[in-house]
Amino acid sequence: MSDASVPTPRPRMPLLLLRLLPIGACLLVLGCAGPRAPESAAAYGPPALTAEQSSNVAIHALGLVGTPYRYGGNTPEGGFDCSGLIGYVYRSSAGQATPRTVARMAGFGRPVPTSELRSGDLVLFGAATPSHAGIYVGAGQFVHAPSTGGEVRLDRLDGIYWSRQPMQARRL
């Protein structure tokens, strides 16, 4: 018999690895499903504004009264629409980013009963999905960018038009 007819044993290592591969994959998946580190409060929404930050928001909003309205606008130089005004004021006064659309603002922060409004709260107008928003500044008044051709202005919540609109309030 020649040595060529005797089969040479194959290394057993690849076979062993193939058998251990499913076990390793299961351990990896189980390890990823283990307990997690606690998440920060920021993961659940924006951090609450202090009373000072809320006051700064209201004062800054009042300072922008008279700025021209511009659809999609979000700077004093270019003008504001209602959500652009809110985003600009919250970002520059309190370092807080807000959603860009009024519809998304309806789920931002936490709801506040209108009887508990304080300066710096958001006021949103519209039925199921709000279509307009402003910043409450106290004494039953809010600052907003109302419409094309207009400018940022101060209005009363109990005014003829606004008192008839469905309203909700949110606090950041």
CA distance 122 to 89: 11
What is the rounded average pLDDT for all residues in the chain? 82
pLDDT of 36 > 50? The answer is no
- What sections of 64-152 are H helices per DSSP? 82-94, 102-105
Residues designated as active site: 82, 132, 144
For the chain, the domain total comes to 1
Domain of 56, CATH number, reads 3.90.1720.10
> Could you tell me what percent of the chain has a pLDDT over 90?
68
pLDDT range class, residue 127, cuts 50, 70, 90: confident
Cα distances from 140 to residues 22, 62, 114, 123, in angstroms, run 66, 14, 10, 11
137 falls within a domain: yes
* pLDDT value at residue 47: 75
139 falls within a domain: yes
42 falls within a domain: no
18 falls within a domain: no
Kindly state the tokens that stand for 103: 């519809």
| Domain carrying residue 86 | 51-171
Question: What pTM does this model have?
Answer: 0.74
* pLDDT value at residue 128: 84
CA distance 73 to 76: 8
Please state the length of the chain: 172
CA distance 121 to 86: 10
